[in-house]
Amino acid sequence: MNIEEKVAYLMQGTEYGDEAMAAVMATELKERLTEVEKEGRPLRVYCGYDPRTTDLHIGHTVTMRKLRQFQELGHEVTFVIGTYTALIGDPSDKDKLRPQLTAEEVEANARSYAEQAFRILDRDKTRIRYNAEWLSKLSFADLIKLASNFTIQQFLARENFRKRWDNNEAVHVHELFYAIMQGYDAHALDTDIQVGGTDQLFNIVTASRKVMSFYGQKPNVAIILSILPGTDGEVKMSKSLGNHIPLNTTPEDMFGKVMSVPDHAMQQYAKLVTRWTPKEVEKFGSDLDAGAVHPRDAKMKLAHEIVGAFFSDADAEKAQAHFVTLFQKGDMPEDMPVYHLQDGEGILDVMIASELVPSKSQGRRLIEQHGVKIDGEVVSDPAMILDHAVVLQVGKRHFLKIVEG
């Protein structure tokens, strides 16, 4: 790639909410790339992750995919695990106080988080750092100096804090530390590039760049990425909303969930979670817009690419064949009612709750008569517990899409 192609590749999927800011960051990225090439060194790139959960979904991996692109271009990537920032919890996209985790909970989550990240990142080219290494050494005097760079007005201008303030809900002082701590991460790593989602705009563009300038460093370039919508195509992917695609699942399940994404969200998925170059993403979108490809076929291509990116191309082939056999050759309807599965629910519970049968006794009889299928396979056990997304078929005509949560 030439320098312009590299900038386009690394800026793909970015969103700043301001065209002028986007142009500034693209210019700074080009300048920094040119600078390090003359110096004969790689860019120092990092993104921080607070291990507040072990249940990752592909929305969590958008920034990891960007880190992988930097790796492909030969740059130095640091995966920062927020063992200290996670003790507070990022308030950026929350309109209420986040529960504080214990150090033990953070450590346990961190091990699982890092291992799942290597589904995307090159293990041999990734540096793992824990921000407790430097944040735990800050003195109270250090914190006073850092805090002197910020005003209360800057924090209250943020929508989540302003909403709580206007509603007379508590805004705790320790929540204001989060952005300052993240800024100190950038300083400690002397980073060239910091990657994050749009919910991190203040933390990176304001806090990190301000803290680095305070210490006499060249402010980092902010690569701010769009937030991946869930399978509903509307709101941020979230396990609590049941619109997520888990990372720890089967290729078949991931393929099927991508196929359930609304057509209008396909281009966002293409930009944020595929291995495609800007030219490939542009062609995917232009073919859709021009009607040169049927949306179903485009979505099949997208699902194949996403499964291939998280598993392997061979797994993607098998998952696609499974989907075709199950949904196309099996004449299953593309649109079917959706049932949100609760923990511990059995197949009979679901059949009754969704009014597919009037009683458990009738449900058992249908199962005994081989009239119930899960993903095209005949069910033989009426005590089956459902614990993941499936398609339930009762009789010849009744179908139910079961999703988690």
pLDDT of residue 328 exceeding 70, the answer is: no
Residues 208 and 264 both lie in one domain: no
Q: In this structure, how many other beta carbons lie within 10 angstroms of the beta carbon of residue 303?
A: 25
Give the CATH number, domain containing residue 317: 1.10.240.10
Average pLDDT over residues 222-245: 88
Average pLDDT over residues 204-217: 95
At position 195, the amino acid (one-letter code) is V
Q: Scanning the structure block, which residue is given the tokens 């056990």?
A: 381
Average pLDDT over residues 286-297: 90
Instruction: Give 215-238 as a 3 state SS string.
Output: CCCCCCEEEEECCCECCCCCCECC
pLDDT per position as a tens digit, 79-93:
999 888 877 765 654
The reply to whether 237 falls in a domain is no
Give the CATH number, domain containing residue 372: 3.10.290.10
161 CB-near residues (< 8 Å, 6+ apart): 91, 155, 171, 175
Residues 283 and 391 both lie in one domain: no
Q: Which of 210, 225, 240 represents a domain boundary (last residue)?
A: 225
The reply to whether 60 falls in a domain is yes
The reply to whether 42 falls in a domain is yes
Between CA 15 and CA 27, with CA 206 as vertex, the angle to 5 degrees is: 55
- Whole-number pLDDT of residue 329: 57
The reply to whether 242 falls in a domain is no
Q: Which of 182, 207, 225 represents a domain boundary (last residue)?
A: 225
pLDDT per position as a tens digit, 110-166:
777 788 888 899 999 999 999 999 999 999 999 999 999 999 888 888 777 888 888
- Whole-number pLDDT of residue 330: 57
Q: In this structure, how many other beta carbons lie within 10 angstroms of the beta carbon of residue 210?
A: 18
Average pLDDT over residues 5-24: 95
Q: Scanning the structure block, which residue is given the tokens 């089967």?
A: 250
What is the spatial distance between Cα 145 and Cα 110, in angstroms, rounded to a whole number?
Answer: 30
Calculate the CA 296 to chain-centre distance: 24
Residues 300 and 209 both lie in one domain: no
- Whole-number pLDDT of residue 100: 65
Average pLDDT over residues 179-192: 95
- Whole-number pLDDT of residue 347: 93
Of the ranges 46-50, 125-129, 152-156, 263-267, which one carries the lowest mean pLDDT score? Answer: 152-156
The reply to whether 234 falls in a domain is no
Between CA 280 and CA 289, with CA 285 as vertex, the angle to 5 degrees is: 150
What is the spatial distance between Cα 309 and Cα 303, in angstroms, rounded to a whole number?
Answer: 10
Give the CATH number, domain containing residue 166: 3.40.50.620
Alpha-carbon distances of 292 from 148, 262, 283, 285, 288, rounded to whole Å? 57, 18, 10, 10, 6
Q: Which of 328, 354, 382 represents a domain boundary (last residue)?
A: 328
Residues 81 and 179 both lie in one domain: yes
> Mean pLDDT: which of 50-59, 131-140, 375-384 is highest?
131-140
Burial of 401 (0-12, 13-18, 19+ CB in 10 A): middle
CA-wise closest residue to 295 among 338, 344, 260, 256? 260
Between CA 78 and CA 194, with CA 246 as vertex, the angle to 5 degrees is: 25
The reply to whether 239 falls in a domain is no
The reply to whether 127 falls in a domain is yes
- Whole-number pLDDT of residue 165: 86
What's the pLDDT band for 269 if we cut at 50, 70, 90? Answer: very high
What is the spatial distance between Cα 33 and Cα 233, in angstroms, rounded to a whole number?
Answer: 35
pLDDT of residue 386 exceeding 60, the answer is: yes
Residues 205 and 273 both lie in one domain: no
- Whole-number pLDDT of residue 10: 97
Structure tokens at 375: 């993903």
pLDDT of residue 173 exceeding 80, the answer is: yes
Q: Which of the pair, 254 or 171, is modelled with greater confidence?
A: 254
What is the spatial distance between Cα 285 and Cα 298, in angstroms, rounded to a whole number?
Answer: 9
Average pLDDT over residues 176-184: 91
Residues 359 and 308 both lie in one domain: no
Q: Label residues 98-126 b or e (16+ Cβ within 10 Å = b).
A: beebeeeebbebbeebbebbebbbeeebb
DSSP-assigned letters across all residues of 172-217: -HHHHHHHHHHHHHHHHHT-SEEEEEGGGHIIIIIIIHHHHHHTTP
Structure tokens at 185: 């991460």
Residues 196 and 59 both lie in one domain: yes
Residues 127 and 212 both lie in one domain: yes
Residues 86 and 19 both lie in one domain: yes
What's the pLDDT band for 334 if we cut at 50, 70, 90? Answer: low
The reply to whether 125 falls in a domain is yes
pLDDT of residue 108 exceeding 80, the answer is: no
Residues 149 and 26 both lie in one domain: yes
Residues 47 and 65 both lie in one domain: yes
Report the percent of the chain where pLDDT is more than 90. Answer: 54
In sign, the C-alpha dihedral spanning 162, 166, 168, 169 is: negative
**Strand pairing category for 390-394 and 372-374:** antiparallel
What is the spatial distance between Cα 132 and Cα 103, in angstroms, rounded to a whole number?
Answer: 10
Residues 179 and 135 both lie in one domain: yes
What is the spatial distance between Cα 240 and Cα 243, in angstroms, rounded to a whole number?
Answer: 8
**Rg of the chain taking only CA atoms, in angstroms:** 24
| Crossing angle for the helix pair 19-39 and 3-11, to the nearest 10 degrees | 130
Domain of residue 28 covers 3-225
Domain count, the chain: 3
178 CB-near residues (< 8 Å, 6+ apart): 85, 88, 89, 90, 91, 92, 203
